[in-house]
Structure 1
Amino acid sequence: MNIFFQQLLNGLTLGSVYALVALGLTLVYGILHIPNFAHGALYMVGAYAAFYFVGTLGANYWVAMIGAAAVVALLAVLSDRLIFHRLKDAPPLHDMIAAIGLLLFLEACIQATWGAEFHRLAPPYPQIVRVFDLVAPAQRLIIIAAAFGLMLVLHLFLTRTLVGSTIIAMAQNREGASLVGIDATKVSILTFAISGALAAVAATLFSPINLIYPSMGHLVIMKAFVIIILGGMGSIPGAIVGGLVIGFAESFGAFYVSTNYKDIIAFALLVLILSLRPQGLFPSGAR
């Protein structure tokens, strides 16, 4: 029972982090139809920003998380204004090329500053929680609680506030939203800011149990794209469910099959599910 619980906890930890990254990616795609391949680099910058705030400035872990979210949100907005906004009338391929170029540029900047070696963010909560005969690292429980808490806040923001409603309206019908007076520029800026903040929070949550290095965003962004395709392009519930599905598949697959195939499992699962349900787990209009 304890072994099963450990794999369940690992799956929830991975799934919640993947879901946060995928949520930011699917928001940008659902509203602006930009496949932002640079989102993995934003995730990486978030980890380094948190590492800097904690290691160099001596900030509290949660303060570092807020600082990293603010830095990456600003960086995401700048990428929108300076790059993607200028390409709004260009063919879609240009957005993809620009995003890949931004990814490589950010990685080069980080490597020039911190080098190519691995870093680790010291776990702020190294304690072990024991309930009956079950044992769980406190850091993993905090990752799960914080990630799901943030998902709930995002859901309430999108569904219960006027600003959130404008984002949903823009995602459902961009032309119609513009006709009723919704400012597409403001929505675009806010969407990129939220997307960047989500990536930074996910990276800060995951960094105490994972290594920090310049190319750490590559595999994460590949899995995030798997998740949003699996859940339905542009679907927020799909990003959450898809993240959990991939997280559980990796955790249980690594334990019961082999850790060598852990990363392949996500892509195999994508092929299997899309062969049965080509539109993904949720329709793209499901918000």
Structure 2
Amino acid sequence: MHFSLLETVLIAGFVNAGLYGFLPISIILSYRISRTIAFVHGGIAAAAALAYWLLCFESPEFLPGEDVVPNFILQLGSDPDGAHRYGSRPEFDPLAALLLVMVMGAAIGAVYGAIVMSRRIASQNILTLTIISLGGMMALIGIFQYLNVQPDSLPASPFGAHTYVFQDVPLTRHRLVTLVVVAVLSVILGILLTRTHTGLVIRALADDQEAGVWCGIKLRAVGTLVYAGSGALAALAGVLIAVTAGPNPAEMLLLFLNGLAIAAVGGMRSIPLAFVGALVFSFLETALIVGFFGDVDRAVSALVLYGALLGIIVTVARFRKENVFLLERQSL
């Protein structure tokens, strides 16, 4: 081990945890009310990343008046002369683009929530609801694939491009703000779900939808609201990840699966515990990247990283008194 890199691992790993903490929040919120894994949030995150890129990306000029990245939004067909290309990028301010994309994510989440939380659909078994969610994710990714987006070109951050140096470790304002937002959201939503009437309503519907409805809870209204909020957060996650890793749908799906595993650390219920899982995941990944453990093969790194995450999930499940995942009587 190279202990001289320990400080770098701790600082960079702590800051990078913010990028892994957003998607688990969306996953847990939707799981708390439906007891299903909302794969649709992966689609919302990917769609939001692509939409944000189109709204605010400014291409550098290769020659005066000639952009490096062709300036159009939609392409139908593969005509090389561009006859089927439509629109041009509006080049919005990044912060305005972020807000628009979050509204889009909330709208998609609300529509999806209104559908799956209707009495007829919500009463279906978990497998059916999971397939519907997977279908929604694939549909979103498929639709947005027609857009002219260059995954290797990074969009500007809505928080600016300033970089700070702490103990010789460069830290961008984007990553710092991301970490702060995730930490604050984890605390606020953790309190909301466990200490308020709204959280009680959500838990009641999750435990027994029929009994909750009989008690006067409006299943569709509450479900739509929860999915709208989690959709907005998924869109925010997609944007923040796109600024760092590019608007690549394949990369976004991999990060969604990472987020799903991190959410499992909290038993799909505890947002603060999921944030702790994000911290551990980020520390270990950073250590492997910077060479804290020496020269480690990429395949071995993946095995160590996900093996450790699985070990954490099992350990937390064993030491928590209550049933971790609280699955409904139905099962996959």
TM-score range normalised by the length of the shorter chain: 0.7 to 0.9
Q: What is the match of residue 202 of structure 1?
A: 237
d(CA) in 1 for partners of 2:185 and 2:244? Answer: 19
1:11-50 CA distance string (max 9 Å, x none): 2344222222111101111221121222211111121232
Superposition RMSD in Å: 3.0
1:113 and 2:147 are equivalent in the alignment = yes
d(CA) in 2 for partners of 1:163 and 1:274? Answer: 28
1:77-120 CA distance string (max 9 Å, x none): 22233356453232322222222222221111111123575442
1:239-260 CA distance string (max 9 Å, x none): 2222222222222233324472
Measured at CA, do residues 131 and 45 of structure 1 come closer, stay the same or move farther in structure 2, by a change above 3 Å? same
Q: What is the match of residue 38 of structure 1?
A: 40
Which structure is higher in helix share?
1
**Equivalent of 1:248, from 269, 278, 283?**
283
Q: What is the match of residue 69 of structure 2?
A: none
**Equivalent of 2:298, from 256, 260, 264?**
260
d(CA) in 2 for partners of 1:10 and 1:169? Answer: 40
Higher-Rg structure is: 2
Q: What is the match of residue 126 of structure 2?
A: 92
What are the equivalent positions in structure 2 for 1:83-232 lying under 5 Å apart? 83=116, 85=118, 87-114=121-148, 117-123=151-157, 124-131=159-166, 135-155=170-190, 157-158=192-193, 162-171=197-206, 174-232=209-267
TM-score, structure 2 normalization: 0.74
Is residue 232–residue 279 contact of structure 1 (8 Å, CA) maintained in 2?
A: no
3-state DSSP of counterpart to 1:136 = strand
1:195-250 CA distance string (max 9 Å, x none): 11111112222322211123232211211221122221323333222222222222
Give the unaligned 5+ runs of structure 2. Answer: 58-88, 327-332
Measured at CA, do residues 177 and 50 of structure 1 come closer, stay the same or move farther in structure 2, by a change above 3 Å? same
Q: Give the Å deviation of 1:171.
A: 4.1
d(CA) in 2 for partners of 1:179 and 1:143? Answer: 41
Is residue 69–residue 201 contact of structure 1 (8 Å, CA) maintained in 2?
A: yes
Give the unaligned 5+ runs of structure 1. Answer: none
1:62 and 2:64 are equivalent in the alignment = no
d(CA) in 2 for partners of 1:161 and 1:51? Answer: 37
TM-score, structure 1 normalization: 0.84
Is residue 190–residue 270 contact of structure 2 (8 Å, CA) maintained in 1?
A: no
